[in-house]
Amino acid sequence: MTISPVSDEEMQQGTLSRADQRCRWRRRDRRSGSGNVLMLHGAGVAADMTWEPMLPHLTAWRTFLMPDLRGMGETRDPDGEERAFSLEQVVDDVAALLDTHDIPQCDVIGYSFGGLVAMRLKQRLGARIGRTMLLEPALLEREDHATMLRVRDGYADAAARIREAATPQAGIVAFLDLIAPHRSRNPRAERMMVTRLARRPLGFANALDCVTHAVRRLDREALLAAQRDVTSVVGGKSLAAMQAYHAELERRRADWTYRALPGTDHSLPFQKPRRLAALLQEAAVTS
């Protein structure tokens, strides 16, 4: 592991060298707050752009660990190539980071792809993972699993278009049409979303395929049964099927709280970071 201090003395960043991956991370340690939180970003975006706007408004925790997941940010294969990866490999990376940072127990916040990683991490590590906060998590887009499997074919097609076309834009827009069909069509907002997801297009495509493969193979009911003390947040403009499923999970389970974030879609961490942070703060102090 290499460590590089940055201007803020409470911030560190570094790289964990594994056999097949160089895992980049950021860590913030504060004098206030209590406990640890692991923050897992979504497909196609890095940790810093996802979480930095929210950090000033998150005061419940003392230590924040924010890795770049495989295919994204500054985490790369040792030779710099973009290779396919599995959910289990990503979970292995994150578990290794927890060990390296000597974090015996932590809460976890997972966005989209990171939400799926968070749930699998909880299933594997049990009580080592405390409160779980899921922001539009992959695998929980709709209750009907057969429908979700059919929809994933569209994500696989978007990933193929990102890889095969001269530019990744058409494939990225196809992904956005699936995950955020009611998003703002303002040209500036659309351009920002596409630019954000095009920073590592092949890594993004690999992450989409990673989720599709996991959706087809994972036992979702077993995964859900392993979760404890969950708060899920879905954008108010997101798919009605997703909102209904999360409301149903809250109805069925005493340890599941569902919150809608009005005026947002799947890009909720980028659209209303302060309001989203307030919901996470609430989950941290009331659960």
What pLDDT digit, counting tens, does each position of 174-233 carry? 999 999 999 988 899 999 999 999 999 999 999 999 999 999 999 999 999 999 999 999
Summarised one tens digit per residue, pLDDT across range 223-261 is 999 999 999 999 999 999 999 999 999 999 999 999 999
Report helix, strand or coil for 4: strand
Question: Exposed, middle or buried: residue 186 (CB in 10 Å: 0-12, 13-18, 19+)?
Answer: exposed
274 in Cβ contact with 248 (< 8 Å) = no
Query: What is the structure's pLDDT at 281?
Result: 94
Instruction: Give pLDDT, residue 7.
Output: 39
pTM of the model: 0.95
Confidence tier at 3 by pLDDT (50, 70, 90): very low
- Contact between residue 91 and residue 64 where contact means Cβ atoms under 8 Å apart: no
pLDDT value, residue 10 = 83
- Among 10-14, 68-72, 94-98, 120-124, where is mean pLDDT lowest? 10-14
Please count the CA atoms within 13 angstroms of the CA of 53 that sit on its side-chain side. Answer: 12
The residue ranges of DSSP E strands in 68-139, in sequence order, are 106-111, 129-135
pLDDT value, residue 253: 97
| Cα–Cα dist 91/109, whole Å | 14
- Whether the Cβ atoms of residue 231 and residue 283 lie closer than 8 Å to each other: yes
Token pair of 243, please?
Answer: 């909102």
Give me the sheet containing 129-135, strands edge to edge: 2-5, 11-17, 22-29, 63-67, 36-40, 106-111, 129-135, 230-235, 256-261
Report which secondary-structure segment, H or E, holds 275. helix 273-286
Q: Is the pLDDT of residue 153 over 60?
A: yes
Output the DSSP codes for 52-77.
Answer: TTTGGG--S-SEEEEEPPTTSTT-B-
Rg, Å, the chain Cα set: 18
**pLDDT greater than 80 at residue 64:** yes
Higher pLDDT, 277 or 9: 277
What pLDDT digit, counting tens, does each position of 82-117 carry? 999 999 999 999 999 999 999 999 999 999 999 999
Measured between alpha carbons, how far is 24 from 165 in angstroms, rounded to an integer?
29
pLDDT beyond 80 at 287? no
How far is Cα 65 from Cα 36, in angstroms, rounded to an integer?
Answer: 8
CA distance 180 to 267: 8
Q: Is 175 left (phi over 0), alpha (psi -120 to 50) or beta?
A: alpha
Mean pLDDT for the chain? 94
* C-beta atoms surrounding 49 within 10 Å: 14
Looking up tokens 């920073």, which residue turns up?
Answer: 199
Question: Which residues lie closer than 8 Å to 195 by C-beta, 6 or more apart?
Answer: none
- Amino acid at position 139, single letter: L
pLDDT digits (tens, 9 = 90+) for 4-48: 444 344 899 999 999 999 999 999 999 888 999 999 999 999 999
Beta strands in 6-140 (DSSP E): 11-17, 22-29, 36-40, 63-67, 106-111, 129-135
Q: Strand pairing of 63-67 and 22-29?
A: antiparallel
